[in-house]
Amino acid sequence: MDKKIYGALNLIMLFILATNINALPQVNSNSVLVALLDSHYTELSELVEKALLLQTLEKAVTLHNITIFAPNNEALERQMDPEFKRFLLEPRNLKSLQNLLLYHIIPARVGSNEWPGENIVHQRHKTLCADNYLPLTSTKSGKKIVGGVSHVIKPDDVIRPDGLIHGIERLLVPRSVQEDFNRRRSLASISAVLPEGAPVVDPRTHRLKKPAGPAPAGSPPVLPVYDALAPGPSLAPAPAPGPGGGHRHFDGESQVKDFIQTLLHYGGYNELADILVNLTSLATEMGKLVSEGYVLTVLAPNDEAMAKLTTDQLSDIGAPEQIMYYHLIPEYQTEESMYNSVRRFGKVNYNTLRLPHKVAAEEADGSVKFGSGDGSAYLFDPDIYTDGRISVQGIDGVLFPETETKVSAPTTAPTPKVVSTQRRGKLMEVGCTIAGVFGHSC
């Protein structure tokens, strides 16, 4: 993470703490909490903030000293199972994230000089995560171990009057959180296992689809999403399918169907739902990617936005698909995660499935704004659909890559298309060339 950005972020967090200090005079700028937010444990600080734990911890340090076992950035960035991290960052799993972090904090002062020696077999300390205890031990060679698994690599890294921080080499996971994760994952894989059926013919190539390769259920795909994308009108030719590209553990097709149904029920997104149902190649592609373990965030323009599309913008062959591909982000983002990142970093660029174009996002009016200038759109209906693999976020404009708006944007006011069936007709010219996977014939 960029040092400068983080510096600014820390200033903000320090400011938040400082403002709270007025409310709670017991927490002062010399607190171990302030030190944590200002330390090199930036990933941990960020998680503490995401977990909305600052207030809890402020209260804790007014009552007693605390000892924080801080996994270093390496442990939280690279050594962590991406699936587990995704689980923790899902808003509905906030409690698990909180428990995980609180498990790293002992409500007492245990400096390295108070650490049990090697002859003491077991010293368990209560943690701030209710009913969870951390054993502190020492090896024969005098190395300090916490939780039975993690070496203390920087004992007494930060010392303050109300507590201290020990740097540790790996994350400590309390059993309850591990169980929550396993439960969620096995539920997901039970409901996502596809029956082994007859060979499937790829409607695009008219060739047999490759049989699934062996890979553990739930493992993230090996290849970047662009390698898995079928070549389309707007895309660079996809490389030949590589090893590990074809494992199917998730029923992507029904997840795509589900979210289209949700869009229809939600109301105000009928145009987009139509496109997805009828542009079968697009929906198939999305279903295929999700089946293979990729995740997607759909920025869904609402009906009003779609109605503003001009004939010009739709007339090129493949234009509707290109427009839609620009609204697909190969990441799983929720309103909360996007809002948090734009608030933290100011401007964030998300990759889209329309290579190489990115979509810019920034904070505006307490919401997330995508694109820039006239071509921008606000996050309008957050989290219309979120299932852990597909996230649908309603927006109030149709987005175009920046370079393109400069070239093709009409200088005069665009003539909005009046008859919507006519527009659908145009969209369908492309979609109907391909056999309907969802059983719709054109």
Ligand X SMILES: *[C@@H]1O[C@H](CO)[C@@H](O)[C@H](O)[C@H]1NC(C)=O
Instruction: Select 38 or 274, whichever has its Cβ closest to ligand X.
Output: 274
Three-state SS at 248: coil
Instruction: Select 265 or 440, whichever has its Cβ closest to ligand X.
Output: 440
For the bound state, the minimum distance from the C-beta of residue 252 to ligand X, rounded and expressed in Å, comes to 19
Q: Is 162 in the site for ligand X (CB under 6 A)?
A: yes
For the bound state, the minimum distance from the C-beta of residue 441 to ligand X, rounded and expressed in Å, comes to 8
x/- letters, 11..50, toward ligand X (CB under 6 A): ----------------------------------------
CB 114 within 8 A of CB 134: no
- Find the binding residues for ligand X in span 87-126 (CB under 6 A): 109
CB 97 within 8 A of CB 47: yes
| DSSP secondary structure letter of residue 375 | G
- φ, ψ of residue 368 in degrees (nearest 5): -105, 130
Q: Which stretch binds ligand X (CB under 6 A): 126-134, 274-282, 283-291, 293-301?
A: 274-282
Instruction: Select 212 or 428, whichever has its Cβ closest to ligand X.
Output: 428
> Total number of residues binding ligand X (CB under 6 A)?
12
Strand order of the β-sheet with 123-126 is: 105-106, 66-71, 163-168, 150-160, 144-146, 133-138, 123-126
Sign (positive or negative) of CA dihedral 349, 354, 357, 359: negative
Give 182: exposed, middle or buried? Use CB within 10 Å, 0-12, 13-18, 19+: exposed
Alpha carbon distance 184, 87 (integer Å): 9
Alpha carbon distance 428, 375 (integer Å): 24
Q: Is 321 in the site for ligand X (CB under 6 A)?
A: no
Alpha carbon distance 84, 153 (integer Å): 24
226: its two tokens: 């662009």
Instruction: Select 136 or 277, whichever has its Cβ closest to ligand X.
Output: 277
For the bound state, the minimum distance from the C-beta of residue 386 to ligand X, rounded and expressed in Å, comes to 22
Alpha carbon distance 237, 234 (integer Å): 9
Answer for which of 64, 183, 210, 308 binds ligand X (CB under 6 A) is: 64
Answer for which of 31, 42, 45, 65 binds ligand X (CB under 6 A) is: 65
DSSP string, 51-120: TT-HHHHHHHHHHS-EEEEEE-HHHHHTSS-HHHHHHHHSGGGHHHHHHHHHTTEESS---GGGS--TT-
For the bound state, the minimum distance from the C-beta of residue 91 to ligand X, rounded and expressed in Å, comes to 30
For the bound state, the minimum distance from the C-beta of residue 135 to ligand X, rounded and expressed in Å, comes to 22
Instruction: Select 151 or 440, whichever has its Cβ closest to ligand X.
Output: 440
43: its two tokens: 């990933």
Answer for which of 274, 285, 321, 363 binds ligand X (CB under 6 A) is: 274
Alpha carbon distance 88, 81 (integer Å): 11
For the bound state, the minimum distance from the C-beta of residue 244 to ligand X, rounded and expressed in Å, comes to 35
Question: Which uninterrupted H or E stretch holds 307?
Answer: helix 303-307
For the bound state, the minimum distance from the C-beta of residue 264 to ligand X, rounded and expressed in Å, comes to 7
- Find the binding residues for ligand X in span 407-436 (CB under 6 A): 424, 428
Q: Which stretch binds ligand X (CB under 6 A): 4-12, 128-136, 221-229, 271-279?
A: 271-279
For the bound state, the minimum distance from the C-beta of residue 55 to ligand X, rounded and expressed in Å, comes to 17
Q: Is 278 in the site for ligand X (CB under 6 A)?
A: yes
| DSSP secondary structure letter of residue 133 | E
For the bound state, the minimum distance from the C-beta of residue 340 to ligand X, rounded and expressed in Å, comes to 31
CB 388 within 8 A of CB 91: no
Q: Which stretch binds ligand X (CB under 6 A): 81-89, 269-277, 298-306, 344-352?
A: 269-277
Instruction: Select 411 or 421, whichever has its Cβ closest to ligand X.
Output: 421
Answer for which of 106, 134, 177, 277 binds ligand X (CB under 6 A) is: 277
For the bound state, the minimum distance from the C-beta of residue 124 to ligand X, rounded and expressed in Å, comes to 21
Binding site for ligand X (CB under 6 A): 64-65, 109, 162, 273-274, 277-278, 424, 428, 440, 442
